Amino acid sequence: MTKDPVENAESGGERKGDAAGKASFAFKFDPSILIDPSCIKIGSVLGEGPGAIVYEGLYQSKPVAVKIIRPPKTTEVSLDCQEKFQREVSLLAKVKHENIVKFVGACFEPSMIILTELLRGGNLQKHLWGRRPGTLDLKCSISFAIDVCRAMEYLHANGIIHRDLKPANLLLTEGLNKIKVADFGHAREVISGDMTSEAGTYRWMAPELFSKEPVPKGTKKEYDHKADVYSFSIVLWELIVNRIPFSGRTNILVAYASANQIRPELDDIPQDLVPLLESCWADDPRIRPEFMEITSHLSNYHKQLCAAEAEPPAVNVPEAEHQESNVKEQEPPKVHMIDKSEEKKKAKRRKKCRSSFFLFCCRPVAVHE
């Protein structure tokens, strides 16, 4: 991680009252991260989220993504929004990882703008939608999932929770072969005490963030970095089956389902990944594994997939045998026998892999509260 731009400045941004008693917000950024807005050239829209529009652009003639925060309507919202902007920029400026979108700079006047590297592959949600009703190649899905895990491992090791992990916040590089985690709008540093429950997007939100009873806006709840592991499990499920999680349910029904331990169905998930998914979306956050463990499991699984693909084809029957099998139709062909022994070996490998996963995933883990 680079030096904390907020620590470099005197303090983080803060709410103040001006001479007329009106509430205002004072941004505190290290001057080194501030950019000159007159040097930005804006092009076409790349995407948009609830609070911002992102454009393709040029900054000092270099390609960038330009995230412009929508101007808030009321003073109260405006203060929240500025505070959120201060946090998003401060965190993004601090992190440096090959699977996290690179920060270029920011400004808060005349608009709140964040510049990041331009990722021409677009977001994972669009990529997945473009493949429906088909799915991604399994090796590719797992490799994308590993990219996300590595970024999350790094964030958690540095005390940062993302809180909005979902395909729309995962960006693809131009070659469509690598994922980078983006959108730190909900991210925050792990703090002791309770955090606001309004973090994230329903379909990917951990059950501990929901309340079964209606609660006032801004209510604090106890949760930790394991909320990201739950969101990741839903992303992993989507990467494999390429369907909408909890499809047909409205947001409120998704929240209800998740809080009542209903999870996406596992029918189309490879057997080797079932225990992993089940532990990642466990109701009890303490059971969910750390990203380091998930990376290790998925990397082993990816290696297995590659090895299986590289294995010489089992079907290599000499011409004479072909003729023979044509004559004795009732006899099982030898090819089948070869396949079976291969299958046994693979099953043994899978079993070994699964049990070793359980060893590290089921031990009690420390919880930040």
Ligand X SMILES: Nc1ncnc2c1ncn2[C@@H]1O[C@H](COP(=O)(O)OP(=O)(O)O)[C@@H](O)[C@H]1O
Q: Which residues bind ligand X (CB under 6 A)?
A: 46-52, 54, 65, 67, 101, 116-119, 122-123, 168-169, 171, 182-183, 185
The one of ligand X, Mg ion, none whose footprint includes residue 47, by CB under 5 to 8 A per kind, is: ligand X
Minimal distance in Å, beta carbon 3 to ligand X?
23
Cβ contacts of 216 within 8 Å, gap of 6 or more: none
Query: CB-wise, 168 or 257, nearer to ligand X?
Result: 168
* 123/296 with CB nearer ligand X: 123
- Pick from Mg ion, ligand X, none: which does 51 bind, CB < 5 to 8 A by kind? ligand X
Q: Work out what residue 293 binds among Mg ion, ligand X, none; the CB cut-off runs from 5 to 8 Å by kind.
A: none
Q: State phi, psi for 24 to the nearest 5 degrees.
A: -145, 170
DSSP notation for 183-236: --SS-EE--SS-EES--S-GGG--GGG--SS---TT-EE---THHHHHHHHHHH
Nearest distance, CB of residue 249 and ligand X, angstroms: 22
116 binds, among Mg ion, ligand X, none (CB under 5 to 8 A by kind): ligand X
Closest separation between CB of residue 277 and Mg ion, Å? 24
- Nearest-CA neighbor of 274 among 206, 156, 361, 161? 361
State the nearest-atom distance from the C-beta of 164 to ligand X, in Å.
8
Closest residue to ligand X, based on beta-carbon distance = 49
The residue (of 245 and 285) whose beta carbon lies closer to ligand X is 245
Element (H, E) at 68: strand 62-69
Of 245, 114, 365, which is closest to residue 253 (Cα–Cα)? 245
In the set 28, 34, 37, 49, which binds Mg ion (CB under 5 A)? Answer: 49
Rounded Cα gap, residues 190 and 186, in angstroms: 12
Dihedral over Cα of 281, 285, 291, 294: its sign? negative
| Active-site position among 147, 164, 228, 272 | 164
C-alpha span between 168 and 182 (Å, rounded)? 9
Q: Which is nearer to ligand X, 150 or 180 (CB)?
A: 180
SS (H, E, C) 342-360: HHHHHHHHHHHHHHHHHHH
CA distance 325 to 42: 69
| Binding window for Mg ion (CB under 5 A); candidates: 47-55, 141-149, 235-243, 294-302 | 47-55
In angstroms, give the least distance from the CB of 165 to Mg ion: 10
Contacting Mg ion (CB under 5 A), which of 88, 183, 224, 272?
183
Segment holding 239, helix H or strand E: helix 226-241
CB of 54 to ligand X, least distance (A): 3
Does 169 contact Mg ion by CB under 5 A?
Answer: yes
Contacts of 290 (CB under 8 A, 6+ apart): 153, 156, 229, 365
Kindly state the DSSP code that residue 159 receives in the 8-state scheme: T
**Distance of closest approach, residue 49 Cβ to Mg ion, in angstroms:** 4
- Is 27 or 204 the residue whose CB approaches Mg ion more closely? 204
Distance CA 357, CA 139 (A): 19
Q: In one letter, which amino acid is 108?
A: F
Query: 334 with 342: CB under 8 angstroms?
Result: no
Q: Is 137 a catalytic residue?
A: no
Task: Please identify every residue annotated as catalytic.
Answer: 164
User: Rule CB under 5 A: which residues touch Mg ion?
Assistant: 49, 169, 183
